[in-house]
Structure 1
Amino acid sequence: MSLVFDWSALRALTDGPGTGGVLRREAADFRVEEVPAYALSGEGEYVFVQLEKTGHTTAHVVRELCAQLGVRDRDVGVAGLKDRHAVTTQWLSLPARAEARLPSLSLEGVRILNVTRHGNKLAMGHLRGNRFVVRVREAQGQAAQAAGILDVLTARGVPNYFGPQRFGLGGLNAEEGLRVVRGESRVKDPRVRRFLTTALQSTVFNGFVSLRLQGGLFAGLLEGDMAKKHDTGGVFMVQDPQAESARAERGEVSATGTLFGRKVKPLTGAAGELEQQALAALGLTPAMFSSRKGDRRLTRIFLEDASVHPEEDGYTVAFTLPKGSFATSVLRELMKTSVDAAADLDAPSSDAVDGSPEGSDE
């Protein structure tokens, strides 16, 4: 298996042709709205600001806020990182003293939608998910095809692959991540080294998901799997795969994959054998990830409120995803193209695994 990100190396769930088409002809073709994890109280020591931005990363907007409002970077709270190649809406929290200066905020492509108060600072990952509205152009007459594929994804779930934004321009971050874990990298910045290592973690995870799809195990479970309940988030070891697979087929539980690190144990049994296969394909071992804490990630996620609307030159698709998942995993199934694979997109977003961005595509 190559360390360079390539959609064609990852098994799709749906068979048959896709719609084709192109994305991001203009910023408004890709809209993302953050779905908060909780309702804001309207009172408290923190000012919560809902921003709509175009042409800016979240990090750039935060820097401008700090400069114009006179606050420190560490005092600004965000739930996820949204990139600049879209129209994105998200909440930020600020110290109360910044509220009086908000009317003077001036940044082209950024506008304030709402201002309210809450008692706690917003933290990374404190969101339920993201709502996507995406225009697919140069796909004339393909709306019905897209709707059929979307129906399958809604019923069966979506492979929870890390998308290309996780792997940098050209999909090369995991290659440098391998040099980091081998002690061969010249990168000195600790934050960059962590991010490169997470790209390597993500490559192993993607390989594990692809192997499950190849083996007809997308909705099934193996002995030794660590499965997660979709309603409560509870995680348990699968000892009777036949019994638990019935629950998985109903969409109640799904397998998780390992984001390797010192705080998470590898899978065991038949699931562990499959996981070892994903590692061995890249010449890796769990011990190589000792610099990371590690985590578990669902191999399957479910869409909410999904729909397709025909357009003169293609179609618009809308859906909501849970935090940490990538819209490109859905769009790849619909279009059957290398969605965003070569695009100069920013690092992914939404929530954090082991202290680093996991992603929700924007």
Structure 2
Amino acid sequence: MTDTRYTTSPQWPTACPASGASATLKLLNEDFIVTELPLQLPCGEGEHLWLDIEKNGANTAFVAQQLAEAAGVQERDVGYAGLKDRYAITRQWFSIYLPKGDTPDLTQLQHPELKVLGQGRHVKKLRRGDLLGNRFRIVLRDVTGDRGAIEANLQAVATHGVPNYFGAQRFGFDGGNVEQGRAMLAREIRVRNPRKKGIYLSAVRSFVFNEVLALRIRQGLWGKTLSGDVLDEAGRPTGPLWGRGRVLTTDQAQALENGVAERHAALCDGMEHAGLDQERRSLVASPVEMSWQWPQADQLELSFSLRAGSYATSVLNEILCATEPDRHIEDEAAAVE
């Protein structure tokens, strides 16, 4: 891959050895159940109406549109903490800015793809990132391969965690968001829509982070700390979310990260000029309360929680090769955050 075109998503290396096993993911919506772990619950008063919603087969933006229409407000008055998968059953909180008038009872809203389970007033709008994490229950069907190899990788993931890659959803179909971001930063295209601009910047930033993490794994550095690493609160190494400002790493860690930045200089320079600031992200995602069972010989059921910003696909990729039905490929809206 060069610094001129980014037209496909690379296959970044895993930390676990390949099990050689495969399975089908999201054959049914109920095979992928996500429950948001909220940062806080509504306090009972305030200008914002918070809604606890279960959606089935709908993406988050679509639900926000339906809520805005039902409440008679603009879509910008609807908030949520994170995007959730479309082909799944997910439970998450939304907020609606309703400072005046009677509070509508949206638990009576009738829609085939969503249910309002509860509502309450709160003093602030829900914004992106306002969540602790997500709880997953995943059923993998048509599992083929060596169960012993699968079990070994499951144990390794539960014990050591997984590479905290940004998921493929972040990069768009065939990695197109990264190429659009490159073209935008190079001023080959002009992006007027603020939402699209944010998506492209996020894709570029996430791509560079994944490249740093992938290089460490290729060099045999998974689970190891380098001289000059910046550690997270759990004492694990972090990687760069590129932007302006002084690089926080030193010594070996800084040399590795600068090497990746030089290889993707146009992207990194563009992010600095776009006004992004240097941040850090843990290189390790640790599933919490992870368990699994085999309901049938060819079915594997997993349960675990992840902190906000980490991807369930990063867990699955360490265990086996999970493939979704073709209908999902082009219209996955975004990652679970």
Q: Smaller-chain TM-score range? A: 0.7 to 0.9
User: 1:132 & 1:21 partners in 2: Cα distance?
Assistant: 17
> CA contact under 8 A between 1:77 and 1:94: conserved in structure 2?
yes
Letter in 2 for 1:257: G
Q: Are 1:332 and 2:317 counterparts?
A: yes
- Which 5+ residue runs of structure 2 have no aligned equivalent? none
User: 2:127 & 2:194 partners in 1: Cα distance?
Assistant: 21
Residue number in structure 2 paired with 1:291: 274
Residue number in structure 1 paired with 2:334: 348
User: 1:285 & 1:91 partners in 2: Cα distance?
Assistant: 34
> CA contact under 8 A between 1:258 and 1:267: conserved in structure 2?
no
> CA contact under 8 A between 1:254 and 1:300: conserved in structure 2?
yes
Pair 38,183 (structure 1): closer, same or farther in 2 beyond 3 Å: same
Residue number in structure 2 paired with 1:317: 302
User: How far apart are 1:39 and its partner, in Å?
Assistant: 4.1
Q: Secondary structure at the match of 1:49?
A: strand
User: 2:134 & 2:27 partners in 1: Cα distance?
Assistant: 21
Letter in 1 for 2:239: G
Pair 263,279 (structure 1): closer, same or farther in 2 beyond 3 Å: closer
Identify the range of structure 1 (194-203 vs 23-32) with the bigger mean alpha-carbon deviation.
194-203
CA RMSD, 1 decimal: 2.5
Question: Which residues of 2 match residues 1-362 of structure 1 at below 5 A?
Answer: 1=1, 3-6=6-9, 8=11, 10-95=12-97, 97=101, 99-139=103-143, 145-230=149-234, 253-263=235-245, 265=247, 267-284=249-266, 286-289=268-271, 290-294=273-277, 295-312=279-296, 313-336=298-321, 343-349=329-335, 359-360=336-337
User: 1:346 & 1:30 partners in 2: Cα distance?
Assistant: 14
- Which 5+ residue runs of structure 1 have no aligned equivalent? 231-252, 350-358
User: 1:179 & 1:138 partners in 2: Cα distance?
Assistant: 40
Letter in 2 for 1:296: R
User: 2:232 & 2:192 partners in 1: Cα distance?
Assistant: 37
Q: Secondary structure at the match of 1:227?
A: coil
Pair 80,345 (structure 1): closer, same or farther in 2 beyond 3 Å: same
Pair 4,266 (structure 1): closer, same or farther in 2 beyond 3 Å: farther
User: 1:161 & 1:98 partners in 2: Cα distance?
Assistant: 45
Q: Secondary structure at the match of 2:180?
A: helix
> CA contact under 8 A between 2:181 and 2:201: conserved in structure 1?
yes
Pair 58,257 (structure 1): closer, same or farther in 2 beyond 3 Å: same
Pair 106,148 (structure 1): closer, same or farther in 2 beyond 3 Å: same
Q: Secondary structure at the match of 2:27?
A: coil
User: How far apart are 1:136 and its partner, in Å?
Assistant: 0.8
User: How far apart are 1:282 and its partner, in Å?
Assistant: 3.3
Count of matched residue positions in the alignment of Structure 1 and Structure 2? 328
User: How far apart are 1:285 and its partner, in Å?
Assistant: 6.0
Q: Secondary structure at the match of 2:23?
A: coil
User: How far apart are 1:93 and its partner, in Å?
Assistant: 1.8
Identify the range of structure 1 (100-109 vs 205-214) with the bigger mean alpha-carbon deviation.
100-109
Letter in 2 for 1:199: A
User: How far apart are 1:34 and its partner, in Å?
Assistant: 0.4
Q: Displaced runs of 4+ in structure 1, greater than 6 A?
A: 338-342
Q: Percent identity between the aligned chains?
A: 33
Pair 30,142 (structure 1): closer, same or farther in 2 beyond 3 Å: farther
Q: Secondary structure at the match of 1:297?
A: strand
User: How far apart are 1:62 and its partner, in Å?
Assistant: 0.9
User: How far apart are 1:287 and its partner, in Å?
Assistant: 2.4
Residue number in structure 2 paired with 1:353: none
Q: TM-score, normalised by structure 2?
A: 0.88
Q: TM-score, normalised by structure 1?
A: 0.82
Letter in 2 for 1:173: N
> CA contact under 8 A between 2:247 and 2:254: conserved in structure 1?
no
Letter in 2 for 1:321: L
